[in-house]
Amino acid sequence: VTFPVFSKMQDNRENLRNNYLKVTEMTSILTFFALGLLFAVAEPMIVSFLTGKWLPSVELLQILITGIVWWPFFALNINVLQVVGLSKHVLIIECIKATVNLVAILMTVQMGVKAVCIALSTAAFLESFIYTYFTRKAIGVSWLCQFKVILPYVAASVVACAVGYVVIGLVDYQWIKILLGGLVYTIIYGLIIYLSRRSEIKFLYATLKEMRQR
C-alpha cells in the first residue's frame, strides 16, 4: 500500500523527494520513540510479564530492536519505488535481503542465539544501503541524506534511554520501574524533540489529523 502523499506527486520528482524526506522524519519521530521506549523498559517488562527466568532474553530483545528499527524505513523505500514505477526492483531487493539474512544465520548459528541476533541486526543495517541505493536512483535521496534526517531522533532516543536507565536503577519494584522509566523516557524524548524539531512535530500532527478525518 502506497502513501497517498507519494501517489499524488509521482509525476513531480522534486516534490516527491521533499515529501519523502518529510515522511521519513515523521516516521523517525514515532519509530525511535516506540522502540527506544521498549529498549529502555525491556528488563522490568520481561521480568514482570514472563518472570525472572526470562531475564537472559532482555539482551536479545534489545539487540533485535537495533535491527527492527530499520523496517519502517524499508517500507518507505519500497513505497517510493512502487510510486515511480520501479516495482521490479522490489523483487531484486527482497531476494538480496533474503540472501543476506540467510548468510548471516548460517555464519552464526553455531555460535548461539545471541550471535544470530547480532548478525540479523547487523544485516538489517547493511540492507539499508541496498534499499537506499535504489531510492537514490529513483528520487535522488542517498543513504547519508536519509541518515541525516534520522540522526536527531536517534540521539534523542539514546539520551532518553540513558536517563530512563538511571531512573529505573533507583527503584526496586518492577511495575514502578516500567511506569516511572517509561514516563521519564517519554518526557525527555518529548522535550528534546519539541525544543529542537517543532516544525516536524506540527507536520506530524497535521498529517495524523488528516489521516483521522478520512
The pLDDT value given to residue 2: 46
- pLDDT averaged per 10 residues in sequence order, the chain, 214 residues: 50 78 89 95 92 91 95 90 83 92 95 95 94 89 92 94 91 91 94 80 65 60
CB-CB contact of 149 with 21 (8 Å): yes
Unique residue bearing C-alpha cell 537506499: 132
The pLDDT value given to residue 212: 63
The pLDDT value given to residue 110: 94
The pLDDT value given to residue 209: 65
The pLDDT value given to residue 125: 95
> How distant, in Å, are the alpha carbons of 151, 175, 195 from that of 28?
9, 28, 16
